[in-house]
Amino acid sequence: NAGVTQTPKFRILKIGQSMTLQCAQDMNHNYMYWYRQDPGMGLKLIYYSVGAGITDKGEVPNGYNVSRSTTEDFPLRLELAAPSQTSVYFCASSEQVYSYNEQFFGPGTRLTVL
C-alpha cells in the first residue's frame, strides 16, 4: 500500500513552459485535492475532485487545470508557467468518514519557474 504518490519530486521550468504533475493513490479514496505551499506559508487549495469525472476549483485555481478520469489518478496541469507558480505542490486524498475526513498527503513536488 503506497498511499499517495507524486511525480516528479523536483522540476525546474522556464517561463511559458507547461507540465503535468502526477498524483496517484491506491486507497480507493473518492476525494482528492491539490494544494500549493509557498515559502513560509501554509497550504492553499488549488483544485479538488469528488470522484472520477467531477472536479471543482479551490482557492487559487488560476493557471492550473485538472482532470480525473480514474479513481486513482488526479494530475495537475500547469499551462504557461510563471515565476509566481514557484511552490511546493501537495496532492492529498481522503475518504468519506462520518466524523472527519483525514487527508493523506503525498511527498510533494518542488517546482521552480525561472
Partner 1 sequence: AQKITQTQPGMFVQEKEAVTLDCTYDTSDPSYGLFWYKQPSSGEMIFLIYQGSYDQQNATEGRYSLNFQKARKSANLVISASQLGDSAMYFCAMRGPDLIQGAQKLVFGQGTRLTINP
Count residues binding partner 1 (CB under 8 A): 33
Q: Does position 104 bind partner 1 by CB under 8 A?
A: yes
User: At closest approach, how far in Å is the CB of 90 from partner 1?
Assistant: 6
Write the secondary structure of the chain as one string of H (helix), E (strand) and C (coil): CCCEEEECCEEEECCCCCEEEEEEECCCCCEEEEEEECCCCCEEEEEEEEECCEEEECCCCCCEEECCCCCCECCEEECCCCHHHCEEEEEEEECCCCCCCCCEECCCEEEEEC
Q: Given the complex with partner 1, which of 92 and 113 has the nearer CB atom?
A: 92
Q: Does position 110 bind partner 1 by CB under 8 A?
A: yes
Q: What angle do CA 99, 88, 64 make, to 5 degrees?
A: 85
User: At closest approach, how far in Å is the CB of 6 from partner 1?
Assistant: 10
Q: Does position 56 bind partner 1 by CB under 8 A?
A: yes
Which position among 1, 14, 62, 100 is part of the footprint of partner 1 (CB under 8 A)? Answer: 100
Could you list the residues that contact partner 1 (CB under 8 A)? 31, 33, 35, 40-45, 48-51, 54, 56, 58-59, 88, 90, 92, 94, 96, 99-108, 110
